[in-house]
A and B are shown apart, each in its own frame.
Chain A
Amino acid sequence: MSNLVERALNGEVIAGARLMRLSDDRREGYQVFMKEIWKKTGNAHIIGITGAPGSGKSTLTDQLITKFRSAGKTVGVVAIDPTSPFTGGAILGDRIRMATHSLDEDVFIRSVGTRGNLGGLSVSTMDIVAIMDAMGKDVVIIETVGVGQDEVEIAMVADTCIVVTVPGLGDDIQAIKAGIFEIADIFVVNKSDRDGAERTSNDLKMMLEITPKRDEWTVEVLKTMAEKGEGVDELVERIHIHENFFKENKLKRRKLNERLVHVAYGAVKEKIVKDIFPPEKIHALIEEGNDPYTTVEILWKNIK
C-alpha cells in the first residue's frame, strides 16, 4: 500500500483513485496510508459549495473549474450525492454537469455517496480531499449533497464556504431558521434569470446586516446564472479576496487545525462505534429486552 502512496504522490491517477477507494470503503489498514497522505497536505485552497437540491451547485462547480483552469490552477472536485438508506445504493450524477473537463488531466473529479453520514458529506470526504491536496491540486472544491437546514459539516472543513440559493425558495423566516444561513462566507443567488432574484438577494442582504460578523469578514450576496456563466467572474474574485483575507489574518492556521480536529473527531467516533458499540451488539441487547441506557451501561462495563 505504501507503494500506492508513492505512486499517487508522483501524480499517478490510478493510484490516487485507489487510495480514495480504500478510504471510502474503510478497508482494513487505510489509516496507515492516510497518515502518510495527511502529512503532505495544507497547500490546496478548499472551497465548499452547499445549498438546496437542484440549486445549481454542480453547474456552478463546472464554471468555477473553467475559471480556475484558465488561471493555470489545477483542480480537484469531490462531489457528494445521497446514498439510499434502504438499499445502500446510490446514483452519483453530479459529473453530468462537469463533462467538459473529463479529459483535462489537471482536473480530478471524484463522486462520493453519503453512505449513511448525515452532515452533508461522507465520512471519507476529507480523506479524499487530502489525497487531492497531497497530489498537488491547487484548489479542491467540495460539492455537498443537496441540503436542507442542518447539514453544516462543510463549514468545519472548507476554507471558503459558498451557500447557493435560488429565487423564491421560501420567505425570509425560513432562511433565518436555516442553520446554513450562518455558515456562508459568500452567498450566491443562482438562477438569477428567474423572477424574484432581486428580492431574494435583498432579503439575504437585510438579514446579513443584522447578523454579527465572524472574524470581521463581510458576507456578500452575489447573483449568478451558472448555466450561462454569468456572475462567475465576480464569484471567483470574491473567493480570491476571501482566501487572501484568511492568509493575512493568520486564520489559515486555525482553519487548518479545525479541519484536522474535525477529521480526528470523526475517526474517534468511528472507532468507538466499531470497537465498543458495534450495532450488532446493540441490536442483540435491545432484543433481549434492555432499555437504551442499560444497553449502553452493559457495553461500557464490558470494555473495562
Chain B
Amino acid sequence: MSKIRILMAKPGLDGHDRGVKVMSRALRDAGFEVIYTGLRQTPEAIVATAIQEDVDAIGLSILSGAHATVFPRVLELLKEKGASDISVFGGGVIPEDDIPALYKAGVTRIFTPGTPTDDAVQFINDNIKPKSA
C-alpha cells in the first residue's frame, strides 16, 4: 500500500521544536510516514536525507527568521540533485510580507503560528501524492 512520506526538518541553530513536534504527531495521526531528523540540520543534510528516504515532501519549521535564505537554498539544492519532484512546504514565525517571495521561489505552502494542524493534513492530502516508478 502506498504511503505518503514526509521529512520534517529544523534547519540552522533554531531550537524551537514544539511546532515541528506537534505537527509531526498530527501528520502521523493522519496516517503519513514522518521522518524526523532533529535540530540543527543544514540545507545540504536535509536534501541528502530527503533523497535517501525518498520522501514526497519536505516540511521545514523555522522560527528564527532564517526562512528567506533557507527555503530557497533547499529548493536550489533539490534542483541540483535532480529531486525537484519533492515538494517543499513549511511553517513557523514567518511574517505575512515575506510569504509571496517564498511562494515565488517554489515553496508550496507556509503555515504560520496558530494554524490548526488539520489545515496541514488537508493541504498534504490535496496536493501531495506518493511518487511512482
* Minimum distance in angstroms from B29 CB to a CB of chain A: 5
- Residue numbers of A with Cβ under 8 A of B are 1, 4, 13-14, 17-18, 20-22, 25-27, 83-84, 87-93, 95-96, 99, 102-103, 108-111, 113, 115
Partner of B45, one of A18, A25, A102: A102
Complex CA distance for A26 and B2, rounded to whole angstroms: 8
Instruction: Please give me the 5 A-B residue pairs with the lowest Cβ-Cβ distance, nearest first.
Output: A96-B38, A89-B28, A17-B54, A102-B45, A21-B54
Q: Is A113's CB under 8 angstroms from B37's CB?
A: no
* Minimum distance in angstroms from B10 CB to a CB of chain A: 11
A4-B133, A17-B54, A84-B29 known; 12 new pairs, CB 8 Å cut-off, are A87-B31, A89-B30, A91-B34, A92-B34, A95-B36, A96-B36, A99-B38, A99-B45, A102-B49, A103-B48, A110-B53, A113-B33
* Minimum distance in angstroms from B52 CB to a CB of chain A: 6
Number of interchain pairs (Cβ within 8 Å): 95
Beta-carbon nearest neighbor of A113 in chain B: B33
11 residue pairs A–B, Cβ–Cβ below 8 Å: A13-B52, A17-B51, A18-B131, A20-B54, A21-B130, A25-B1, A27-B2, A27-B133, A89-B28, A96-B37, A99-B40
Which residues from A are CB-within-8-Å of B82? Answer: 14
* Minimum distance in angstroms from A187 CB to a CB of chain B: 29
Partner of B83, one of A14, A111, A115: A14
Within 8 A of A (CB), among B41-81: 41-42, 44-45, 48-49, 51-54, 81
Within 8 A of A (CB), among B3-38: 3, 5, 24-25, 27-38
- How many chain B residues have a CB neighbour from A under 8 Å? 36
Q: Is A92's CB under 8 angstroms from B35's CB?
A: yes
Beta-carbon nearest neighbor of B81 in chain A: A14
* Minimum distance in angstroms from A270 CB to a CB of chain B: 12
Which residues from B are CB-within-8-Å of A87? Answer: 28-31
Complex CA distance for A99 and B30, rounded to whole angstroms: 26
Which residues from B are CB-within-8-Å of A90? Answer: 28, 33-34
Q: Is B24's CB under 8 angstroms from A91's CB?
A: yes
Complex CA distance for A92 and B81, rounded to whole angstroms: 24
Which residues from B are CB-within-8-Å of A88? Answer: 3, 31
Partner of B133, one of A1, A89, A99: A1
Complex CA distance for A274 and B30, rounded to whole angstroms: 25
Complex CA distance for A78 and B121, rounded to whole angstroms: 27
Q: Is A17's CB under 8 angstroms from B52's CB?
A: yes
Contact A95 B25, CB 8 Å, known A22-B133, A27-B133, A87-B31? no
* Minimum distance in angstroms from B39 CB to a CB of chain A: 9
Which residues from A are CB-within-8-Å of B132? Answer: 27
Which residues from A are CB-within-8-Å of B2? Answer: 25, 27
Which residues from A are CB-within-8-Å of B3? Answer: 25, 88, 113, 115
Q: Is B34's CB under 8 angstroms from A89's CB?
A: yes
Complex CA distance for A197 and B130, rounded to whole angstroms: 46
Which residues from A are CB-within-8-Å of B35? Answer: 92-93, 95, 111
Q: Is B41's CB under 8 angstroms from A99's CB?
A: yes
Which residues from B are CB-within-8-Å of A17? Answer: 51-54
Beta-carbon nearest neighbor of B4 in chain A: A89
Beta-carbon nearest neighbor of A20 in chain B: B54
Beta-carbon nearest neighbor of B132 in chain A: A27
